[in-house]
Amino acid sequence: MLKNISALAAGLLASLAVWAAPTVEMTTNLGKITLELFPEKAPKTVEIFLYNAKHGFYESTIFHRVINGFMIQGGGFSTAMEEKKVLTPALQNEATNGMENDRGTVAMARTQDPHSARVQFFINLKDNDFLNHRTSADPRGWGYTVFGKVTQGMDVVDKIAKVPTGNAGYYQDVPTTPVVIQSVKIISEK
C-alpha cells in the first residue's frame, strides 16, 4: 500500500511539474528580476519571448523608456539607442486573455497597430487599467497583452524606475546612464 501511495505521489508531482509556469531570470546591471510567464493565457506571446530569450536576443539590450509611476520598457535597443534587428514575426494581440496590467505584470509593447508587438516588453509600476483590453471593435480598445509577472526583484524594478532620464535624439524618458539587460536566462520552461 505504501508503495502505491509513493508511486501516486510521484506521479502527481510529475504532473504538477508539467503544468508549472515557465520562469526566466533577467539580469540587469542594477540587479536580477525573476519573471513567471503565463503560456495558458498568452501562448504565442510566451512562445516568442522564450524563443528570443533562448537565442540571446535580449542580451545587451536596455530599458530605453522609464517613466516612474507608470512603467519601464525594454528589450529592443542597444546602449547606443540603435534598434536591434528583429527576426520574429509580429504577434496577434492576446490582450483578450483576461489578464490586467497591474503592478508587477509584464506586457508586450506595440505601436498603434494592436497586432504589432514583437520583442519589446514593459513592466507595470502601478495598476494601469487604461492599458487593459476593452473592445476589439476599436484599435484603441485592444489593450496590451499581459504575459507574465515579476515574482522576485520588484525592488530592482523600482530602482530602475527612479533612475534619471532625459532625451536621446527624438526618444524621451531614456535613462541617462544605460540600464542594461545583460541576459535573460530560462530557469524552467514548464
In this predicted model, what pLDDT tens digit does every residue of 64-113 receive, in sequence order? 999 999 999 999 999 999 999 998 999 999 999 999 999 999 999 999 99
- For residue 174, give the C-alpha cell: 531614456
Q: Residue 185 in contact with residue 32, Cβ under 8 Å?
A: no
CA 116 to CA 48: how far, in whole Å? 13
Beta-strand pair 171-175/61-67 = unpaired
Q: Average pLDDT in the 140-167 region?
A: 97
**For a pLDDT cut of 90, what percent of the chain falls above it?**
85
What contacts 76, CB < 8 A, 6 or more positions away? 61, 64, 83, 84, 86, 109, 118, 119, 120
Residue 74, strand partner residues? 63, 121
Label residue 186 exposed, middle or buried (CB < 10 Å: 0-12, 13-18, 19+).
Answer: middle
pTM of the model: 0.89
Separation of alpha carbons 86 and 90, rounded Å: 10
